[in-house]
Chain A
């Protein structure tokens, strides 16, 4: 219970209870409130000056954590960058030389390095540096990755083409290794049947006994299969694409027909002595862009009969390349 206070009224000469009118009281409370506000502001400013506001400290910590996250991201991107560089080397050093592709232009690879200051929305922050660095790094990686993708597309096409080429070109012996070679490609002194002198021999002869298996020397399409009026007897001609054709003449039996697709090692027929021939043998021609070539330049005499047989019988396991 508050102690009542009195004041002395000197006019009436009596003690009167001391009462504060409501208005005055309100003004006082209001003044007190203002003063306390002022004071607290002063305290607040003093403390923030000395220690920084707790909220600010908290926010700064958070910014610091974000910066660390950015740094981590940069480390990750650095790793990606290295990986891309490795892939680039793999592309330029391993793949392109084999496929005889030109290197990708350096300018294309770097692709207009940095479109100067496109990051206006990232400027003016204390952490602008990390944000801009990360953004640029990422766009650099994306650009390089895009170039690499395109480059690999080209490499893939070229490697498919290269493998197709290897499967299609007439690059093996048409008969097993133990069958000896006869007349060679070039001008021969005297034709064995016609007796004419100085007529070019446009192929390579193999002394194959009657009925010897004759194999397609590369994948391709049979363009001719039948009787020749020009002296080849029963013969087969295969178009290998890439400008190459091969021809097998004097056969006793034909095992393919016109329009057939063959792969290397497919049986095209059996050797014989049909047409202009003095005895059973295979006459084999290689034609490149309409010009006859020496067939001996297209195969290597390194296989034994067993290996030759392996090669022929293994052909189906390699079909994935022939397509």
Chain B
């Protein structure tokens, strides 16, 4: 049992008993509570400073590891960047030495962009990855849209033309040329690889390994299959009718005989380096009514407008010829 407490009342000169009213009690509890909260905050603050929860420790470890890895990777990446820059330059230099022309990006993927860090200007901001991701995605979609937009137009044109003529007129590239990387030189004035004087180059040169398949570019009759040690070397002439003839030169082997009927895409021979040739390549010419025309204008069937545009540019460059 609690002993009562008294307060001396100087007015009455009496000891008054201290009453513990409910209000006082509440006040006290409240005070205690407030005090404990303030203390808790203080403790909490000190506690947080000094001690980590297991989750925090894990997070800290994680952060430390991530930071370390990031630093290491970033350092290596800087080295890689230099190596890649170097490789790109070597690539360009080799291109200049071998083709004697200004290098062009290898694929449509890189067309018009190029350079090591294409998204460089977007880096260095927090969350910039989102921007980069989005930009990359937009770029990709843009290209895809461009590719798809052509087919309808083409269909309409196809329907309008005469079927027979369409099958016969040369309309594809004579060798498989994904990425258009095989065009070395087009029709026009070119420096001769040996004589070093400007000569008119009548056809398009496709570089390709010896033995690469050569396709008939339209339905035709084989007009000529000839072996030769100079000039065109082993070559084939196809007569497509409608005034069109195509010539395939420097072949290693033939796959057709004179007088044979061939259809577009049929393998007629294989790439070689016979005749006046400095490297394995196919020299391809198109003649209309006996006169040479630019073969680049006859590749419309298997190319998108983008690719076609690029091909025209590639063929127009003043690269060295190989014959």
A residues bordering B, Cβ < 8 Å? 3-8, 15, 18, 35-37, 39-41, 43-44, 48, 53-56, 59-60, 62-63, 65-73, 75-77, 79-80, 82-84, 86-87, 89-91, 93-100, 122, 125-127, 131, 134-135, 138, 141-142, 145, 148-149, 152, 155-156, 159, 162-163, 166, 171-172, 294, 296-297, 300, 302-303, 307, 310-311, 314-315, 318
Which residues of chain B come closer than 8 Å to A86, judged between CB atoms? 105-107, 109-110
Q: Chain B nearest CB: distance from A41 CB in Å?
A: 8
Question: Contact: A152 with B127, CB < 8 Å?
Answer: no
Known: A87-B106, A94-B106, A100-B279. A66 touches B87 (CB 8 A): no
Contact in complex: A66, B70 (CB < 8 Å):
yes
Q: Closest A-chain residue to B3, C-beta based?
A: A7
Contact check, A60 vs B59: say whether CB atoms are below 8 A apart.
Answer: yes
Quick one: given A63-B63, A89-B107, are A311 and B195 in contact (CB under 8 Å)?
Answer: yes
Contact of A63 among B40, B66, B76, B97 (CB under 8 A): B66
Cβ–Cβ contact B47 & A44, under 8 A: yes
Task: Report Cα–Cα, A162/B279, bound state, in Å.
Answer: 9
Query: Is the interface on chain B under 10, 10 to 19, 20 to 34, or 35 or more residues?
Result: 35 or more
Q: A37-B39, A97-B208, A172-B194 are in contact. List 19 more A-B contacts (CB 8 A).
A: A8-B15, A40-B41, A44-B40, A55-B48, A66-B63, A68-B127, A75-B136, A82-B110, A83-B116, A87-B106, A100-B279, A122-B69, A127-B65, A131-B66, A142-B80, A145-B80, A152-B87, A300-B230, A311-B195
A159 touches B66 (CB 8 A): no
Q: Contact between B281 and A138 (Cβ–Cβ < 8 Å)? A: no
Q: Does B44 contact A (CB under 8 A)?
A: yes
Q: Decide yes or no: A314 and B80 within 8 Å by CB, A7-B5, A125-B65 being known contacts.
A: no
Residues of A within 8 A of B74 (CB): 73
Cβ–Cβ contact B84 & A56, under 8 A: no
5 contacts between A and B (CB under 8 A): A6-B6, A6-B7, A142-B76, A166-B193, A172-B195
Given contacts A83-B116, A159-B94, contact A307 B40 (CB under 8 A): no
In whole Å, how far is A195's beta carbon from the nearest beta carbon of chain B? 31
The proximity string for B residues 91-127 relative to A, scoring 1 for CB distances below 8 Å and 0 otherwise, is 1001101110000011101100000111100010011
State how many angstroms separate the Cβ of A146 from the closest Cβ of chain B: 8
- Collect the chain B residues with CB atoms within 8 Å of residue A131's CB: 65-66, 69
* B contacts, CB < 8 Å to A: 3-8, 15, 18, 35-37, 39-44, 47-48, 52-53, 55-56, 58-63, 65-67, 69-70, 73-74, 76-77, 80-81, 83-84, 86-88, 90-91, 94-95, 97-99, 105-107, 109-110, 116-119, 123, 126-129, 132-133, 136, 179, 181-182, 184, 193-197, 199, 207-210, 212, 229-231, 276, 278-281, 322
B275 to chain A, nearest CB (A): 9
The residue of chain B having its C-beta at the shortest distance from the C-beta of A310 within the complex is: B197
CB distance from B96 to the nearest CB of A (A): 10
